[in-house]
Amino acid sequence: MRGLVPGNLRNYTMCLGVPMRIKQIDGFAARCEARGIERTASLFLLQHEDLQVGDLVMIHVGNAIQKMSEEEAKSAWDLYDEILQLEAEASTAAAPVGSLRRPADDID
């Protein structure tokens, strides 16, 4: 990404890893939760780690890819919240209330 510029956030596509807390483990499958959303994730890539219920992991496309500390997870969520806030502010500034403007209108 070339930098976060309000108004241009919709022009970027990226995949994110989401910090989630392990709620249940069944072999290489785990039920994980973040902000009230639960998903099943594979622990196969972290089979070398000693993972327990309550641990935090980074989930990317359904796979736990990294064990995380509380600080790392909080830092990631703080960054995601900042990105979402900037995007919301840019959308509000770009499309006045009642506007019929759509993101597709920006395509040349």
Domain CATH code at residue 76: 2.30.30.140
Q: Decide: residue 83, CB within 10 A, 0-12 exposed, 13-18 middle, 19+ buried.
A: middle
CB 60 within 8 A of CB 92: no
Residue 1's pLDDT band, with cuts at 50, 70 and 90, is: very low
- Number of structural domains (the chain) is 1
12 falls in which pLDDT band (50, 70, 90)? low
Considering the domain boundaries, does residue 8 fall inside one?
no
> What is the residue range of 45's domain?
15-93
Residue at 82 is within a domain: yes
Picking from 72, 70, 24, 33, the residue whose alpha carbon sits closest to that of residue 51 is 24
Question: What is the per-residue pLDDT across 23-66, written as a single tens digit (0 to 9) for each?
Answer: 999 999 999 999 999 999 999 999 999 999 999 999 999 999 99
